[in-house]
Chain A
Amino acid sequence: MRTVLLSVLLLIATPGLGAARAPAPIIEDDWPRALALARAKGLPIFVDGWAPW
């Protein structure tokens, strides 16, 4: 019983299995900052170009 309970707790605490993953942070309307961060981290930039209508 204890083993089962421990497994359930581990499942809940393991990202991507039971717990909700925190969303990746998003930079709002600041291309220079996004580019600098992407260069520093060596990551590509994903851009959501939208209009408020």
Chain B
Amino acid sequence: MRANVLPDVRRTRRAGRFVWLSIDTEQPRNAAFLERFPIQSYPTFLVIDPRSGEPILKWLGSASAAQLERLLADAQRRRRSGPEEILARADRAQAEGRLDDAVPAYLQALARAGPRWSRRPRAVESLVLALSAAGSQQACAEAARDEARRLPRGASFANAVATGLGCALAAPADALWRPRALSTLEPLAREAVALPGLLADDRAGLFDALVDARGVAGDERGARELARRWWMFLEDDGRRARTPEARAALDGMRVAAARACADPARALPALEASEKDLPADYNPPARRAALLLDLGRLDEARAAVERALRLAYGPRKLKVYQLAARVLERQGDRAAQAAALDEALAFAGTLPAALRDGQVLAALRARREQLDRASQ
């Protein structure tokens, strides 16, 4: 998004009617902003009213240049009535984190507007995202299933289906509603992944969910075949990328696809290129370390994770410490593992509260205590 879509949107006529702010959510200097406007998924786009300081629109996840331009237009629209007014109310509730108000308002807007409403795809996408953000997995999957299949085939359809399928996959395996949701959403996702004009992030995300869905169905051969197609798509995307940043944007997906192909080594050359082209970025060495650990190449994994730790910052650095501890554990170096965990806990203490990930912190503490117990 940052490398491919935003530069284009910032060149549009409408872009000049906004003040543009980029917030790296890992940077401690943004703690005050993040306390006021919590961000849990990436990317998140917000439009904030400068007079009240309140958010008027919030968008979770990727968006094409055309979608973002429409969101900017929505944020500027002053005179509204009927479903447009209800949609704006839903957007505001969603932006303020009042998901219990946002969801019924999106539903009300959809019901009031009827099936031919031009804003319907966007409203359905927002509804499904709001349900996902609220952790309502069943409602999210069912809204995607019931609403998305009636949408015109485009970016909103693809995003609603991907989000709904993600909700179904994240649900407990014994949830009674899950098999039906999966069996109806998976064909829609197959349709979506083949649509022309999708953002590369969205297409890669759809492949990811489809591979998972085949895995859940116990269809190993089908999962492997989809993983192969996913990898081919990523290779093609890498060849087309205009800049190293644009190519590296899908490196995380390359790692996941290589693992899904049961061939982690195939992603190493791309990560090596990213590390060379983007020497200040901790992600390429951290991803190399993770794959080298998969491959049992432990000395190389240790060297890579040490390079990553020298560059990492913010809450994500804790995850890099976790990875380092796993590498050191596999090497049997208990002293170094304990030192890495201690360093991680000390570093966590320096992070502002808004940037601290409670789950990661709890896992680090538990692992450190386990080590202590084992040595007694």
Asked whether A25 lies within 8 Å of B20 as measured between CB atoms, the reply is yes
CB distance from B201 to the nearest CB of A (A): 12
Interfacial residues of chain B within 11-51, with CB under 8 A of chain A in the complex: 11-13, 15-27, 29-30, 32-33, 37, 39, 42-51
Q: Which residues of A contact B (CB under 8 A)?
A: 16, 20-31, 34-35, 37-39, 41-53
User: Is B281's CB within 8 Å of the partner chain A?
Assistant: yes
Provide the bound-state CA to CA distance between A51 and B21, in Å.
14
Cβ B47 vs Cβ A31 within 8 A: no
Enumerate the 9 nearest inter-chain pairs by beta-carbon distance, A residue then B residue, closest first.
A38-B50, A23-B10, A24-B15, A34-B21, A26-B20, A47-B46, A49-B44, A31-B33, A49-B39
Is the C-beta of B270 less than 8 angstroms from some C-beta in chain A? no
| B40-77 contact mask (Cβ, 8 Å, vs A): 1 or 0 | 00111111111101001000000000000000100110
Starting from the known contacts A26-B21, A46-B45, 6 additional A-B residue pairs (CB-CB under 8 Å) come to A27-B20, A29-B23, A34-B19, A44-B47, A48-B20, A48-B22
Residues of A within 8 A of B22 (CB): 26-29, 47-48, 50
Bound CA span A30–B75, Å: 22
Chain B positions near chain A (C-beta within 8 angstroms): 1-2, 6-7, 10-13, 15-27, 29-30, 32-33, 37, 39, 42-51, 53, 56, 72, 75-76, 252, 281-283, 316
Q: In the complex the two chains form, what is the Cα distance from A34 to B30 in whole Å?
A: 13
Complexed CA–CA distance, A27 and B27 (Å) = 14
Given A20-B11, A42-B50, A29 contacting B29 (CB threshold 8 A):
yes
Interfacial chain A residues near B281, Cβ < 8 Å:
52
User: Which A residue's beta carbon lies closest to that of B48?
Assistant: A45
Is A49 touching B18 in the complex (CB atoms < 8 A)? no
**Inter-chain contacts of B13 with A (CB < 8 A):** 16, 21
A-B CB contact pairs (8 Å), 24 listed: A20-B11, A24-B15, A24-B18, A24-B20, A25-B20, A27-B20, A29-B22, A29-B24, A29-B30, A31-B21, A31-B30, A34-B19, A34-B20, A35-B53, A42-B50, A43-B17, A44-B17, A45-B19, A46-B19, A46-B46, A48-B23, A50-B43, A51-B42, A52-B281
**Distance in angstroms between the alpha carbons of A38 and B316 in the assembled complex:** 31
Residues of B within 8 A of A16 (CB): 13
Q: Which of A28, A37, A38 has the most CB of B within 10 A?
A: A38
- Interface-central residue, B11, B23, B316, by most chain A CB under 10 Å: B23
Please tell me if the beta carbons of B50 and A43 are within 8 angstroms of each other in the complex. Answer: yes
